Amino acid sequence: MLRHVLSLTLCLMLVSPASLAEDKPAYPVVDGKYVVIERMLVKAGYEQWFEDYWRNTVLPVFAEIDGFEGGYMLANTALPTDPAGETDFGEILPMGPPSKVFLGHGGIHLNGVQTDTQINFDAMLKGTYNYQVVHFWRDSEALKGLVPGLAAGWQAVHGEGDPWAILTEDYFPNLENHWDIVYRVVQ
């Protein structure tokens, strides 16, 4: 009996919240040093096409480039099938860019004065993008290899063809805008 109690106690200790906390992923959850965020304004009616194109055409090419560590896609609009109110997270947590630039937010300071107001600069970008694709790169050399490595990655996945010519013909005409921003991942 004592052996069963000790076994049970040991099992509970192994799955206790304290020991589970040690299994939580480190911050950040990626090892890469750089991240590229691509913002795109996908034309109306091409949203599903865009998601499929990235998933099936572009990301497999990135996976062929040394130093690519994964990525994900963000949309700043709700799904048409989402129940009403599902994406209403409150005024200071809008889905996508807010409609107002100045939003009440306790504790915010501006020029050393507590204003309790946030300035949401994304409100000024409202309507300029509806998707973001985020991709992580191991280090500087890996990210520097993205553009030169695109052709070889494209050939490995899709066979022959100039990726820039194909993207110019098949991809970019379905976008109203596109820009890239590189960030350093804080370790």
Q: How far is Cα 36 from Cα 185, in angstroms, rounded to an integer?
A: 10
Dihedral, 63, 65, 69, 73 alpha carbons, nearest 10: -50
Banded pLDDT at 4 (limits 50, 70, 90):
very low
In this structure, what token pair is assigned to residue 108?
Answer: 């915010």
In this structure, what token pair is assigned to residue 187?
Answer: 């370790």
pLDDT tens digits, one per residue of 104-153: 888 989 899 999 998 888 888 888 999 999 999 999 999 999 999 999 99
Answer whether 108's CB lies under 8 Å from 116's CB.
yes
- Note the pLDDT of residue 96: 84
Rounded average pLDDT over 146-171 = 94
pLDDT tens digits, one per residue of 7-25: 433 333 334 444 445 677 6
**Other Cβ atoms closer than 10 A to 137:** 27
Q: How far is Cα 65 from Cα 139, in angstroms, rounded to an integer?
A: 13
- The rounded percent of the chain whose pLDDT value lies above 90 is 56
Rounded average pLDDT over 33-50 = 95
- Note the pLDDT of residue 110: 87
pLDDT tens digits, one per residue of 56-67: 999 999 999 999
Q: How far is Cα 68 from Cα 35, in angstroms, rounded to an integer?
A: 10
pTM metric for this prediction? 0.78
**Other Cβ atoms closer than 10 A to 49:** 13
User: Which residue type does 148 have?
Assistant: P
**Other Cβ atoms closer than 10 A to 77:** 12
What backbone phi and psi angles, to 5 degrees, belong to 139?
A: -160, -175
Cα 31 from chain centroid (whole Å): 15
- Note the pLDDT of residue 11: 38
- Note the pLDDT of residue 28: 64
Q: Quick check: helix, strand or coil at residue 85?
A: coil
Residue 5 has pLDDT above 50, yes or no: no
Count of all residues that appear for the chain in the document: 187
pLDDT tens digits, one per residue of 65-111: 999 999 999 999 888 899 988 988 888 788 888 888 888 888 989 89
Q: Domains plus CATH for the chain?
A: 26-76+129-187 (3.30.70.100), 91-126 (no CATH)
Answer whether 41's CB lies under 8 Å from 130's CB.
yes
Q: How far is Cα 161 from Cα 99, in angstroms, rounded to an integer?
A: 43
Rounded average pLDDT over 156-161 = 92
Banded pLDDT at 26 (limits 50, 70, 90):
low
